[in-house]
Structure 1
């Protein structure tokens, strides 16, 4: 799948492929191929080092971007999935269980967008229902009970917003997750690997460490929805994305994200193994840093962290 702003790259790639099929031993065509390859490299760097916020949103949504399953399979040893919320049922839009990452015993949880049409439909494209977030809450409490760090991989357009979700208490389920994370006496490590949409993402982002892949985003609302509400025009989504400051760089500057994890040029979908490995290195480092921290100090530091977010001064009055 090629995004609209990548069309110049596609045209060069197609031209190079055509010339390779015709070139044979022709020195003239070989020289032209070399020239076009240089132009292709320049186009890639020019486009992908000057992405707009909305272009990064588009990359974060790319269907070939590595999802929870790719990270689970590559980074987690002995993953044992735990299902169900003990009230209604199981929701495969969000998965979790016991695992070992880089030698650390953890509870691993993540949104699962699926890998093909069938699994994407079954998982509601990563948009969890209340039973999904109640399952998450159960795993948060399990981690606290057994002293296991929480590793949370965020990739969702948002929690499912249908009538059935409201009837089954979607807002209450997400708020309970936030309360649980606020007081859980174990390290909480969250990484936004793609989309970080609305309360569906927030329920897994109240953490001691928040990492964001370079082309991920975190926002209370999708740019298209924001444009529809503010401008009454969904086609102004790019304008909304720029104003909302939702990219990894923006969130890092605001003190919400702790680290921007680099992606391969063009996005994580171009070299999935490299992107997964980069996240794995960050998880290993952060889990080692947080290991052995006093639980009370951990919770106190987490509270202080979120009280600082959004603090500002007016008329020379220092923030509380």
Structure 2
């Protein structure tokens, strides 16, 4: 059963009518099939019109949609011969970050991503995609493994931010994130990151300091959540919509600012409506990027990646 967002209510009403009609027998007065086709056409037009003018806050809602595909689903569909790897070899395992080795269209690689979970049990297990220090140290371990064996790295970003709990801070959350960013910039193999949902703060940047950073059309990427920003600036979460607008956190805004490299279009109505189609589009974009980057030597990859992020800090000065 599809979960509808607040701004999708007119679409929900039409699709509810379609569902009702499909359970009715044809009569002499009404051709049910024709009426269903007419309503389906109306739904497509309404979807197209609605998603063509989404506000930043509405895109935040789409990025957080409960049925949007998460990292593990991308890995399961795109990566063959996948072997998961666990643990940071320092403290323990963190299920908020999943990863391992496998093949993408025959190319061996290391893949990792932030996994939010799909139901209550899995969301608790994966801590809603919010990693503790051991998660980022696991990411560092996998990236260094890739570097040692000359394998490209693919990361899927989807987190509201790093876990802010006392236990995480006690185990060095800030240092783990900083070291993970440093590892991203230091490895000599291709690194491609895709923001598939939420890209929140340093928790996202820790695995997204990449040669190519892509965002799905309805994903968001920012230094803080809109609610967090609103609570600081307006002292109220009620201004989250204003914060989302001001923060320029959508894929289109960030492409204009040169923070990301490309925007990957989503199926009409968002990735949650046609997840396999969205995942395949990501796979195609990643494969193209890896083919390009594989032509570069290790020193060139490092230098270009570092220069890319240094240039962001210099822009506008």
Same fold (TM over 0.5): yes
Number of matched pairs: 314
1:155 alignment partner, one of 158, 173, 195: 158
1:120 alignment partner, one of 113, 119, 123: 123
Specify the alignment match of 2:266 in structure 1. Answer: 263
Specify the alignment match of 1:4 in structure 2. Answer: 6
Unmatched runs of 5 consecutive residues or more in structure 2: none
- 8 Å CA contact 1:92, 1:123 repeated in 2: yes
| 1:301 aligned onto 2:304 | yes
Once residues 86 and 36 of structure 2 are traced to their aligned partners in structure 1, the CA distance between those partners, rounded to angstroms, is 54
Once residues 101 and 37 of structure 1 are traced to their aligned partners in structure 2, the CA distance between those partners, rounded to angstroms, is 36
Once residues 146 and 39 of structure 2 are traced to their aligned partners in structure 1, the CA distance between those partners, rounded to angstroms, is 54
- 8 Å CA contact 2:116, 2:129 repeated in 1: yes
Specify the alignment match of 2:197 in structure 1. Answer: 194
TM-score between both structures, scaled by the size of structure 2:
0.95
Structure 1 residue 33 displacement after superposition: 4.5
Structure 1 residue 254 displacement after superposition: 0.8
Query: Where in structure 2 are the equivalents of 1:157-176 lying within 5 Å?
Result: 157-176=160-179
Specify the alignment match of 2:134 in structure 1. Answer: 131
Once residues 115 and 184 of structure 2 are traced to their aligned partners in structure 1, the CA distance between those partners, rounded to angstroms, is 20
Structure 1 residue 16 displacement after superposition: 2.9
Task: Give CA-to-partner distance per residue, 1:229-275, whole Å, 9 cap, x none.
Answer: 11111011111101100011111111111111111111101001100
| 1:88 aligned onto 2:60 | no
Once residues 159 and 72 of structure 1 are traced to their aligned partners in structure 2, the CA distance between those partners, rounded to angstroms, is 21
Specify the alignment match of 1:24 in structure 2. Answer: 26
Once residues 111 and 308 of structure 1 are traced to their aligned partners in structure 2, the CA distance between those partners, rounded to angstroms, is 27
Specify the alignment match of 1:69 in structure 2. Answer: 72
Specify the alignment match of 1:316 in structure 2. Answer: none
1:243 alignment partner, one of 235, 242, 246: 246
Once residues 32 and 68 of structure 1 are traced to their aligned partners in structure 2, the CA distance between those partners, rounded to angstroms, is 39
Once residues 99 and 107 of structure 1 are traced to their aligned partners in structure 2, the CA distance between those partners, rounded to angstroms, is 6
- 8 Å CA contact 2:72, 2:98 repeated in 1: no
Structure 1 residue 32 displacement after superposition: 5.0
- 8 Å CA contact 1:198, 1:221 repeated in 2: yes
| 1:14 aligned onto 2:30 | no
Task: Give CA-to-partner distance per residue, 1:203-247, whole Å, 9 cap, x none.
Answer: 011000001111111111000111111111101111110110001
2:217 alignment partner, one of 210, 214, 218: 214
Structure 1 residue 79 displacement after superposition: 1.0
| 1:140 aligned onto 2:167 | no
Structure 1 residue 182 displacement after superposition: 1.1
| 1:109 aligned onto 2:121 | no
Secondary structure of the residue that 1:228 maps to in structure 2? helix
Secondary structure of the residue that 2:306 maps to in structure 1? helix
Structure 1 residue 293 displacement after superposition: 0.8
Structure 1 residue 41 displacement after superposition: 2.4
Structure 1 residue 87 displacement after superposition: 1.2
Structure 1 residue 312 displacement after superposition: 3.9
Unmatched runs of 5 consecutive residues or more in structure 1: 314-318
Secondary structure of the residue that 2:192 maps to in structure 1? strand
Task: Decide whether aligned partners of structure 1 residues 238 and 29 sit closer, same or farther in structure 2, where only a CA change above 3 A counts.
Answer: farther
Secondary structure of the residue that 1:48 maps to in structure 2? helix
Specify the alignment match of 1:280 in structure 2. Answer: 283
Structure 1 residue 12 displacement after superposition: 1.4
- 8 Å CA contact 1:228, 1:234 repeated in 2: yes
- 8 Å CA contact 2:83, 2:100 repeated in 1: yes
Task: Decide whether aligned partners of structure 1 residues 34 and 183 sit closer, same or farther in structure 2, where only a CA change above 3 A counts.
Answer: closer
Deviates more, 1:74-83 or 1:25-34: 25-34
Secondary structure of the residue that 1:309 maps to in structure 2? helix
